[in-house]
Amino acid sequence: MTTPSPIEYVDAPPQVRAVYDDIKKTRNVADVNNFWKYLARDPATLKRTWESVKQIMAPGALDPLVKEMIYLAVSVTNGCPYCIASHSFAARKARMSEAMFGEVMAVVGMANETNRLANGYRVPIDDAFN
Amino acid sequence: MTTPSPIEYVDAPPQVRAVYDDIKKTRNVADVNNFWKYLARDPATLKRTWESVKQIMAPGALDPLVKEMIYLAVSVTNGCPYCIASHSFAARKARMSEAMFGEVMAVVGMANETNRLANGYRVPIDDAFN
Amino acid sequence: MTTPSPIEYVDAPPQVRAVYDDIKKTRNVADVNNFWKYLARDPATLKRTWESVKQIMAPGALDPLVKEMIYLAVSVTNGCPYCIASHSFAARKARMSEAMFGEVMAVVGMANETNRLANGYRVPIDDAFN
Amino acid sequence: MTTPSPIEYVDAPPQVRAVYDDIKKTRNVADVNNFWKYLARDPATLKRTWESVKQIMAPGALDPLVKEMIYLAVSVTNGCPYCIASHSFAARKARMSEAMFGEVMAVVGMANETNRLANGYRVPIDDAFN
Amino acid sequence: MTTPSPIEYVDAPPQVRAVYDDIKKTRNVADVNNFWKYLARDPATLKRTWESVKQIMAPGALDPLVKEMIYLAVSVTNGCPYCIASHSFAARKARMSEAMFGEVMAVVGMANETNRLANGYRVPIDDAFN
Amino acid sequence: MTTPSPIEYVDAPPQVRAVYDDIKKTRNVADVNNFWKYLARDPATLKRTWESVKQIMAPGALDPLVKEMIYLAVSVTNGCPYCIASHSFAARKARMSEAMFGEVMAVVGMANETNRLANGYRVPIDDAFN
């Protein structure tokens, strides 16, 4: 029974290093975040999660900044401290301004409020929405 | 002890009608959604909620489509059926394409997954994020 | 593989009937709600849950109406349709007025909003609170 | 890319100072909590949130202690550490006794349990509740 | 603006059919569930989700029944009606007995309760757990 | 207004000592965890919670390891730091291997993802599940 600890590149087996290398190259960073170093305890989960994140967060019909702000909105709603810190950082790196941050937070706060008002008032879905 | 029921315009007191009128004018719609008709049971909450929503969802540093997609992302995370239906509708009206919808859902799904992986692996926040 | 179905009094084994009898006597009702009829599939859970609910919801430092409104506030926050319906009913039976209902919903909505603002703005706990 | 930091009164622009002044006067306190000092990064959200909180938490059909206990119940359900600390403090200031605290926690715990039992047993809503 | 609708095999493009074929073969079923038919609106999400589910739910250190019960426990905690129905079905197919179901529900209910008690009593983590 | 603090055995009243004694005997440990020492502020909740946990977590149709992994899965989904730490510890004590831990996390992550995909795509429940 040992405490979880991060797996650094020098200590990592080849299949973990391969994922770290791809993260560093794709994101143009010198080292990977703690998230990946802890996930590396399970190389299958590390690889599958990275490949999914890489595919989903790539530019598409939505640009990367919008995707990062949505990621942040979900993390704030769930109250995940690590995720809020890491995706605030990522969104700012993708050029989220202070004004944009304020608006994301305002929408997240309001949506969490009206979600509960709709629950509590037991509002039936309008025909127009179906 | 009566079941909640919607308050229609013709039955509404003046302060409720004033809110309905402003919603209809602001959104250029013929009638308000069920959400407002149920909230009208408490005119103070109706007025405060509408004024907050109106302020928050107006164009700003983020355009209305991005705000609607964030609203939808929160509603899907919380599992609010009314809110998912109404904000899917609103986002499509604001020109969310089918491809954009697919990408919002993919990001929301992935964020909900990695939020729990960060929790479960007890990942400490990187110094770089502070 | 059968669909869950309610267990009616006439079909219930003695230990289930004993719980139903205690619910009916304690609450002065002619029949128990669906919640108990479905829980009866597991008589140990039925008995333990009823005894806990009976103990917790009895008058104490808080009166039963306040307890019912707190129960409703939690159920609305979690988005449990059955629980919202049953505890709205129970709170009204305990004399929650329409004005009280409106205020409970307003507090629940605001708390859900500010919980996320505190998360998103990463607010550290004031020394005064510890 | 800077870390969020609190905005103190001396550094605050006039519209932020106006909100701080109203909080201090309304609550009869010497300084505002961290929550407001962080929210001040977005003066529009600061002002809107304070005005909503002020309106909602004022005495009405429910007294302020009951409202604070409901706020605490929601914050505990959502697992917001800042909000649990600040609203425990506020509820005690509003004369929540140790016995009341214990009963709030007991109801919150039980509601969170039975919400999931109702989900898992897929209990249909009783006709009597509609 | 059209309502979401399921994509049946006969109407599906080749890359969707390939996923449907693999689901049917892997699970030895005549048709795929609604979940996949709706996800097929976004073939990339359909493929990625199926491949992840297939990898994760395969026998490993845990047998498939345990995995299905964990899936059900999460779905009940989140209150996802579709997921509760589909994973109750899947768990029973994997030989979850009525007694096992009752114990899963009891653990889920108790965990949701004690999670909130730990939050509300602000319990610090024991040194022994680190 | 005092900060919550743990109640140690030497300071505990008789009814609290009786619960501590039963926990120590049942679990064969020298001292109880912080969770119980904080809950002891309300002896009725302490006793009821321990008796429920003792009954629910005993061997039954499911073995204790499976129950601990389900408890962990719920705690990770809810994001309760204390509960994640304590039930990771308890599950490892009950012989959860590193490979099992990785699979529990993978299932929890995937379930949290697909729960939201089912919400967002508004998937209707298959007839076969009812």
Work out the angle between the directed axes of helices E43-57 and B98-120 (0-180°, nearest 10).
Answer: 30
pLDDT tens digits, C74-109: 999 999 999 999 999 999 999 999 999 999 999 999
Residues of chain F scoring pLDDT < 70: 1-4
The residue behind tokens 């319906």 is C85
* Residues in chain D within 8 Å Cβ distance of F44: 102, 106
Token code pair at residue C76: 């609305």
Q: Partners for E (CB, 8 Å, 3+ pairs)?
A: A, B, C, D, F
What contacts A80, CB < 8 A, 6 or more positions away?
A: B115, B118, B119, F79
Residue D27 in tokens: 């609550």
Q: What is the pLDDT of residue F2?
A: 52
Among the listed residues B55, B88, D55, the one whose alpha carbon sits nearest the alpha carbon of residue A102: B55
DSSP designation for F122: T
Q: What is the pLDDT of residues E59-88, one digit of tens each?
A: 999 999 999 999 999 999 999 999 999 999
> What pLDDT is attached to residue D3?
61
- Comparing CA positions, the residue from B9, B14, B16 lying closest to residue B41 is B16
At F77-92, the pLDDT tens digits run 999 999 999 999 999 9
Do E94 and F3 form a contact (C-beta atoms < 8 A)?
A: no
C3 vs C103 pLDDT, higher one: C103
Taking residue F54's Cβ as centre, other Cβ atoms within 10 Å add up to 14
The continuous run of DSSP H or E covering E115 comes out as helix E98-120
- DSSP at C94: T
Contacts of D104 in chain C (CB under 8 A): 62, 70
Give the pLDDT confidence score for residue F20 in this predicted structure.
98
Burial of B96 by CB count in 10 Å (0-12 exposed, 13-18 middle, 19+ buried)?
buried
C-alpha B121/C-alpha B123 separation (Å) is 6
User: In degrees, to the nearest 5, what angle opens at C-alpha D6 toward C-alphas D3 and D8?
Assistant: 145
CA distance C71 to chain A (A): 12
Largest CA distance in chain B: 59
The structure tokens listed for A100 are: 């944009």
Please tell me which of the candidates D1, D49, D78 has its beta carbon nearest to residue A79. D78
Whole-angstrom Cα distance, residue A34 to residue B123? 6
Q: Half-sphere exposure of residue B41, counting CA atoms within 13 Å on the CB side?
A: 24
Banded pLDDT at A1 (limits 50, 70, 90)? very low
Rounded CA gap, C21 and A14, in Å? 65
As a whole number of angstroms, the distance between CA C104 and CA A3 comes to: 43
Chain A residues in contact with C115 by the CB 8 A cut-off are 79, 112
Question: How would you write the pLDDT of chain B (130 residues) with one tens digit per residue?
Answer: 456 689 999 999 999 999 999 999 999 999 999 999 999 999 999 999 999 999 999 999 999 999 999 999 999 999 999 999 999 999 999 999 999 999 999 999 999 999 999 999 999 999 999 8
**What is the C-alpha to C-alpha distance for residues F118 and F50, in angstroms, rounded to an integer?**
36
Instruction: Determine the pLDDT at residue B2.
Output: 52
Give C20-55 pLDDT, tens digit per residue. Answer: 999 999 999 999 999 999 999 999 999 999 999 999
CA of C108 vs chain A CAs: smallest distance (Å): 7
Tell me which residue of B111, B34, B120, D79 sits closest to F120, measured CA to CA: B111
Comparing CB atoms, the residue among A76, A119, A122 nearest residue C119 is A76
pLDDT of C5: 87
Whether F66 contacts F94, CB under 8 Å: no
Q: Residue C2's pLDDT is what?
A: 52
**Closest residue of chain A to F76, computed from CA coordinates:** A80
CB C68 within 8 A of CB C96: yes
Rounded to whole angstroms, the Cα distance separating D123 from E89 reads 16
Q: For each of the domains in chain C, give its residue range(s) and CATH number, in order of start.
A: 1-58 (1.20.1290.10), 60-123 (1.20.1290.10)
Tens-digit pLDDT profile for chain D (130 aa)? 456 689 999 999 999 999 999 999 999 999 999 999 999 999 999 999 999 999 999 999 999 999 999 999 999 999 999 999 999 999 999 999 999 999 999 999 999 999 999 999 999 999 999 8
Burial class (CB in 10 A: 0-12, 13-18, 19+), E24: middle
Alpha-helical segments (H) within chain A: 14-27, 34-39, 43-57, 64-78, 81-93, 98-120
Q: Amino acid letter at E44?
A: A
Give percent of chain C above pLDDT 90: 95
> What are the C-alpha distances in Å from A130 to residues B76, B89, E92, F121?
16, 9, 33, 12
Chain C residues within an 8 Å CB radius of D88? 129
Q: Please provide residue D5's backbone torsions phi and psi, each rounded to the nearest 5 degrees.
A: -145, 155
Q: State the pLDDT at residue A5.
A: 87
> What is d(CA E86, CA E81) in angstroms, rounded to the nearest whole number?
9
